[in-house]
Amino acid sequence: MSNNEKKVELLSPTGDMESLISALDFGADAVYLAGKTFGMRSGAKNFTEEELVTAVQAAHERGVKVYITCNTVPLNGELDTFPEFIADAQRAGVDAVIAADIGVIAMIKEYAPGLEIHASTQTGVVNWRTASELYKMGVKRVVLAREVDLNSIKTIRQNIPEDMEIEVFVHGAMCVSFSGRCLISEYLTGRNANRGECAQPCRWEYYLMEETRPGQFFRVFEDERGSYILNSRDMCMIEHLDDLLEAGVYSFKIEGRAKSAYYTALTTNAYRTALDCALNGKTSPSWVLEEVEKISHRPYCTGFFYGHPNEGSSSQNPNEVTNGGQYLKDSGYIREYDFVATIDNCENGVMHLTTRNFFTLSDELEILAPQREPIKLISEKMFDENGEEIDAARHAMRKVSILTDIEVPPHSLLRKRVVT
């Protein structure tokens, strides 16, 4: 059965309940999240046992699946707590577990036999034989290593069982190390990347020192801030989803469980439209491609999908210092817009908002509403929670109202263009 005949999946990241609601509102088919332990993103808020039950109920009411990540490499002392953890996840109603460790996979089958198992990208699957052996162990889906190219995906698809699914990352941060198996963070900071605590030392500034010249630091190239020889670009495949469909990809995964609800909303909205267009043989509208530039990001590339990143750069800027998938100039982010408010409701010509960041009505404002093109917001009057007219929203988590005839659903978002 081809992917055009079989429904494919857009999989969105959820680090907390607010991100979950964004994913549900903006078009995700499934979400992935973590409990308070065993997940690879300890920096995210993640979900308590009670919050997990609420999250699953909210998702299932919208027909959205929930996958829980158990993709760390657990130590001996942690194994005794896993059976209860995974049994609780099954009782909460999650649909699948994303796991990397063979022992964890065995315990899932033993203590939560009703849960579907997905092999994490941390497993490092790059060939069909490994995928097939995992299938024999009870794995229903493989999240391929990010080092796998399109031709290899096709080969894997042709040689694995028909009911085994392939998932790949299509957007978000990439790791300089093979499938995230990195020890630099633990070596320098004591924070183990394979246990969800990565300090991202690959983004730091580095200098070289020659052995016989202690204390003399040399720049790798002429930039006083240092050399970012390990710093990777972000992945963006929004213009190439048709190629992934043709290769046999079932699940299209957005990275970012440690990122904001705004990030989840924007990327989910853009990729929902782009994926629907690709499935119907249509070209995505221009606003979809523009959207991914409106989220804080590093320069984009297409990862390893079209061969080794060093074979070419996606950069359109001749002043960027690049090496294919690496971005050597700095570790900063490109940020053109700030998220400033959530829209609670619209009624009788008034838009009611909860503020998040400073903005004024003279700013260039846009509304991000679910599964539609962004809307310019132009208004001349704004009021505080006491009905007093104000010239700016200065404080976070305050109620304000704006006079406008625009009507959008609750949970739509307001952003402003950053003036640099």
Kindly report, residue by residue over 136-151, the tens digit of the pLDDT.
Answer: 999 999 999 988 999 9
The more confidently predicted of residues 193 and 272 is 272
- What is the per-residue pLDDT across 27-70, written as a single tens digit (0 to 9) for each? 999 999 999 877 655 555 789 999 999 999 999 999 999 999 99
The more confidently predicted of residues 267 and 229 is 267
Average pLDDT for 190-197: 70
Residue 334 structure tokens: 């490109």
**Distance from C-alpha of 332 to C-alpha of 298, rounded to nearest angstrom:** 7
How much is the mean pLDDT over the chain? 86
CATH of domain 337-417: 2.40.30.10
Looking at residue 281, what is its pLDDT?
95
337-417: same fold as 9-177+233-303? no
Asked if 204 contacts 331 with a C-beta cutoff of 8 angstroms, the reply is yes
CB neighbour list of residue 43: distance below 8 Å, 6 or more residues apart: 196, 197, 258
The domain 9-177+233-303 belongs to what CATH superfamily? Aldolase class I (3.20.20.70)
**For the chain, domain boundaries:** 9-177+233-303, 337-417
- What is the per-residue pLDDT across 304-318, written as a single tens digit (0 to 9) for each? 899 866 544 444 443
CB neighbour list of residue 241: distance below 8 Å, 6 or more residues apart: 170, 252, 271, 274, 275, 278
Q: What does each C-alpha distance from 210 to 165, 194, 215, 228 come to in angstroms?
A: 50, 31, 9, 18
**221 Cα distance to chain centroid:** 32
